[in-house]
Amino acid sequence: MKPTTQLQALGQSLWLDNITRTLLDDGGLQRYIDELSVTGLTSNPTIFDHAIKNSVDYDADIRAKLKAGKSGEALFFELALGDITRAADLFLPVHERTHGVDGWVSLEVSPLLAYDTQSTIAAARDLHVRAARPNVFIKIPGTAEGLPAIEEAIFAGVPVNVTLLFSSAHYVAAAEAYLRGIERRIATGLSPFVGSVASLFISRWDVAVAGKVPAELAMKLGVAVGRQTYKAYCELLASPRYRRAMNAGAQPQRLLMASTGTKDPKAPDTLYVEALAAPFTIDTLPEATLKAFADHGRAVVETPADGGDCEAVLAQFRAVGVDIDALARRLQTEGAAAFTASWNELMGVIAAKSAALASGA
C-alpha cells in the first residue's frame, strides 16, 4: 500500500499546499488526486506570488484583463479565482462523495486586512459569491481582529479556513468563533451545515528555537504543539456544546496541520507528516514533502488523542527558557507580516507584468 494511501486509510486527509496554472494545465493536480490520494488544496499569497512571478502562464490572461480595465488587486483576484475554481471543480467529486467533509480548496482574503474586522468580513463574502463553488474555503487569519470576522462569515454561510494559528489556545479561540457563528444560525432557524477548518502552523516553531535549545530538544517543539492542539481538538469535539451543534446538523470544523514541510535539512523530510497522522484531521503538504512522503513515508502510528507526551515535552522547553505563549503570539504576528510582505511583492509583480504586457514587451 502506498504511504499516501496508508495515511488516507488511517483517516487523515492529504491536501496539496500549492497551486499553479501549470499544475492545472498539464494534469499534474489530477495525477496527485488519482495516484497520491490528494483530496484538497490550499493557497496563500506566497504561493501565488511564486506561481505568477516564475512563469509566463498568466501573461495572456493578464493582458486580456488589462484590456477589460482590471488592474492591481482586482486583477489578481480574477487570476486567482480562475485557478481556484478550476481546482474546486477537480475536487468536486470528492466533496460530493464525502458529503462536504473533504474536497475543499482555499483562497485567502488580502493579508492587509488581518487586523481589520469589517473589511475582512466584506472581502470574505465577496470572494465567496464570486467563486460560486460549494467547495471553496475563504481563508481568514485567526488574529484577535480576525475572530469576529470568522464568526460573522460562518453566520453568513461563508465556509472558512482559519489560518495563522500557532497554538492550542489559538485553535480553541478559532473553534469557538466558528461555534458561535453556527449557534447563531441554529438560533435563527438557518442551516448549521457550514464547512470550516482550523489551520495550525507547525514547522515555524522549530525554526524559531533552532540553535537556542539543547540538541536533544531539536525538532520536537512543532510536534509537541501539534499534539497538544490535537488533544484540545478531540476534547472540544467530545464536549456537550459541540455535540448539541452536531445534533442540530452542524458539520464539525476539522483541524488542519499546516506548514508540515521540514525546514532543517538534517531532519527527516517526512517528520511532521508521520508524527501528526491523526483521524478526522487534514495535513496540507508542499509538493516536495508530498513527493517525499509518497516515496518513503510511513503512516502506521496514530497520534494519541490525549496528546501523548506533549505536555512533558513542552515542560522541557519551558525549563530551558522558552515562553510558549509569548512565542505563539510572536509567530502569529510574524506570520501575518510575512504574508503581507508576500502580498506586497505579489502586487509589485502584477504591476510590473501589467506594465510590460501593456507596452507589448
Select from 130, 198, 168, 164 the least CA-distant residue to 340. 164
Say how far apart CA 303 and CA 176 lie, in whole Å: 23
Grid cell 476539522 is found at 254
Nearest 10 degrees: Cα torsion 144, 149, 151, 155 = 180
Give catalytic status of residue 2 as yes or no: no
**Catalytic residue selected from 139, 220, 231, 353:** 139
- Report the DSSP beta bridge partners of residue 56: none
The H or E element containing residue 169 is helix 168-187
Joined together, the cell numbers standing for residue 92 give 468536486
Joined together, the cell numbers standing for residue 242 give 459541540
Evaluate whether 46 touches 340 at the Cβ level (below 8 Å).
no
Q: What is the DSSP string of 309-348?
A: THHHHHHHHHHTT--HHHHHHHHHHHHHHHHHHHHHHHHH
Evaluate whether 108 touches 44 at the Cβ level (below 8 Å).
yes
| Residues annotated as part of the active site | 139
